[in-house]
Amino acid sequence: MKLIKDISERVVWTYVQTFLGLLLASGMFADGALDLSVLQSAAVAAVPAALAVLKGVAASRVGDPKTAKFE
């Protein structure tokens, strides 16, 4: 259960950081308009989050099986 919680936390924060980074880089907050680029940013942010899941699973198989970190 600790592994799932660990991976979930990493995935959520990876997604949030990527999504906000994309919004800031695209200038979304500059003009205050919500448009398709927000949806595109949300979709693109899912890619690093999915990679975080894969990394966490791989780390649990190489290191401690109860955590998502390489040791």
Does residue 38 register a pLDDT over 80? no
Residues 6+ away with beta carbon under 8 Å from 42: 19
Domain limits at 24?
Answer: 2-62
In a domain, 71, yes or no: no
User: Model pTM greater than 0.85?
Assistant: no
Identify whether the C-beta of residue 15 lies closer than 8 Å to the C-beta of residue 65: no
Does residue 13 register a pLDDT over 90? yes
Whole-angstrom Cα distance, residue 11 to residue 4?
10
**Domain count within the chain:** 1
In a domain, 68, yes or no: no
In a domain, 69, yes or no: no
Does residue 40 register a pLDDT over 70? yes
